[in-house]
Amino acid sequence: MTTTIATTFKDFGLAPALVQAVTDLKFETPTPVQTKVIPALLKGTRDLVALAQTGTGKTAAFGLPLLHLTDPAANVPQALVLCPTRELCLQITRDLTSFAKHLRGIRILAIYGGSPIDPQLRALHRGVHIIVATPGRLNDVLRRKRADLSGVQRVVLDEADEMMSMGFEEDLAAILTETPETSRTLLFSATMPRAVATIANKYMDDPEEILVGHRNSGSDTVRHECYVVHAPDRYAALRRILDCLPSIYGIVFCRTRIETQEVAAHLEADGYSAEALHGDLNQQQRDRVMHAFRVRQRQLLVATDVASRGLDVTDLTHVINYNLPDDPDLYTHRSGRTGRAGKEGVSIVLANSREAYRLRSLEAVVRKPFVHKKVPTGREVCEAQLQVLLDRVKGLGADEKRLAPYWPTIEASLSSLTREELMRCLVARDFDRFLSDYDKAPDLNAGAPERSSRREGREGRDGRGESNRRERFERGAPRAPSSQGAVTRLQVNLGRRNGMTPPVLMSILNRATPGPMLRMGRIEIMEHASVIEVFAGDTSDLAQRLNQQSYDGRQIEAKPVGRPGRGGQPRPSRRERES
């Protein structure tokens, strides 16, 4: 018996309204996972395990059949989709709604935590056909006896491996016991760790397995690159890579929340468009960060693995592994954030010389070799940035009509310059900064001769002419010589208890003072407050500017303070001690 391979969505036998919606969305040729899964869901009856990477079109693979098989006349939940995070829950709901826009009477509801539960309960009471939910919130709804899953015919577990790694096993078990034994379970996962296999064995009956690519492997559209550096040069290497990728739109993965905050603060202080995403953010803060990233107000998201679970952001060009994950499966998830929907992507690893054996194990997991690359030299960074500048200049358009009244003044002022002098002036305006940053920059590659880690550490962390200032910030070193002028001490109402660190405080200062660089002295982080030393000539309105800033939802209050208390630290006020 031969099987006909569908070359268009119409070939699957889907309802015309669904085919029209897919056409409206500019979907032309089904992806491999859609070609295999859609017929199995439409015509088969067995449970199903589908192993495929994120970004391969899984939502359409299960969503189109779910909608095709749903009866609008039956006002009960007929399909349930479970996924690990609020972001993925909302994304799947949006996709299903787009697919169903020409269908009449289909109601789809997202049930997720981090938002009021009452509107979701009222929508359930009115009646829905398809529920898309996170396990924790749905389990809460079931405990309240506000949802009836007895009519569910199909259950989809999307990104099941991530649900397991996030600790949802008990919630999943409780939910699946509420669905009929006759319901069909459809499990989608990028990898098949033991916990997922346990769920499959316990709650699925003789499932059919569909494998797209290789089991637990990475996406075929992702290129894997590696830079081997010494640990102290990791941030400096990151900066050079970013400077050679001016159009990057990607995620930088860090291992811990603290590291995520510090790397993001360093990047922002050094002029990069970056923001942190970690588990300590509340839902409102997380939504703000993700919105800014999705609409490309930020080029870089610096995230932990836990915070990034279930993110569905399209068109990422790069994923950068600032540190290697402890679990090889996590690397598969990280790299799978790019190279989605058939587009090419790059996964970059910053590794130290002692991690060679881990790289070999990752190559076995993704079934691809790493391309070992050299950290760009200072000259290579400058050449890359120069080309960006020249392309931007060539792309500038001049409105001759609006310039006409001013042309005599322009001509009189610039006529004395030769063509070469004019080009040099034009380039030097924006390019001198990179020349200063990377002049005589050392080789950062592990094993490079005559490497100067100390000097490059300063250049790499700070750049933009801020190296001495940041060194004093981070080490708490004595302030600069008194010949530079008197020092003013400003106390800020944020300390360690508020998550304040020197890089975070520097980021706040840079936002408050967009003009010339401040000359800084010591910075001291205490439990409830922080103190900054600023040379008096630079502080005319610094306190006022800081008082217009906020951090983590708290208004900043800055005020001058006098001499240090015992131990070199100012005594916080009673209100600050009690806050």
Sequential DSSP letters for 34-70? HHHHHHHHHH--S-EEEE--TTSSHHHHHHHHHHHH-
**What pLDDT score was predicted for residue 479?**
36
What are the boundaries of each domain within the chain?
9-211, 222-377, 379-438, 465-578
Residue segments in the chain with a per-residue pLDDT below the cut of 50: 1-3, 216, 450-484, 563-579
The residues, any chain, with a CB within 8 Å of residue 438's CB and separated by 6 or more, are 378, 379, 381, 382, 459
* DSSP reduced 3-state for 363: helix
Q: Taking a C-beta distance cutoff of 8 angstroms, is the pair 48, 101 a contact?
A: no
* DSSP reduced 3-state for 345: strand
Q: Taking a C-beta distance cutoff of 8 angstroms, is the pair 317, 290 a contact?
A: no
Query: Rounded to whole angstroms, how far apart are CA atoms 256 and 473?
Result: 22
388 alpha-carbon distance from chain centroid: 25
pLDDT tens-digit map of 32-48: 889 999 999 998 889 99
Q: Taking a C-beta distance cutoff of 8 angstroms, is the pair 524, 530 a contact?
A: yes
Determine the number of helices (DSSP H) and then strands (DSSP E) in the chain: 24, 20
State which CATH number among 2.120.10.30, 3.30.1330.200, 3.40.50.300, 3.40.50.970 fits the domain covering 222-377.
3.40.50.300
Same fold, 9-211 and 222-377: yes
**What pLDDT score was predicted for residue 518?**
65
Query: Rounded to whole angstroms, how far apart are CA atoms 569 and 563?
Result: 9
Instruction: Write the DSSP symbol of residue 372.
Output: E
Residue 91, phi then psi, degrees to nearest 5: -65, -45
Burial profile 117-156: b = 16 or more Cβ within 10 angstroms, e = fewer: eeebeebbeeebbbbbbbbbbbbbbbeeeebebeebbbbb
Q: Taking a C-beta distance cutoff of 8 angstroms, is the pair 184, 154 a contact?
A: yes
Token readout for 346 is 């790059």
* DSSP reduced 3-state for 524: strand
Calculate the CA dihedral of residues 457, 462, 465, 471 and round it to 10 degrees: -70
Architecture of domain 465-578: 2-Layer Sandwich (3.30)
The pTM for the full model equals 0.61
The residues, any chain, with a CB within 8 Å of residue 525's CB and separated by 6 or more, are 495, 496, 500, 501, 502, 505
Query: Rounded to whole angstroms, how far apart are CA atoms 38 and 24?
Result: 19
Please state, as a whole number, how many other Cβ atoms lie within 10 Å of the Cβ of residue 46.
14
CATH topology of domain 9-211: Rossmann fold (3.40.50)
pLDDT tens-digit map of 109-165: 999 998 899 999 999 999 999 999 999 999 999 999 999 999 999 999 998 888 887
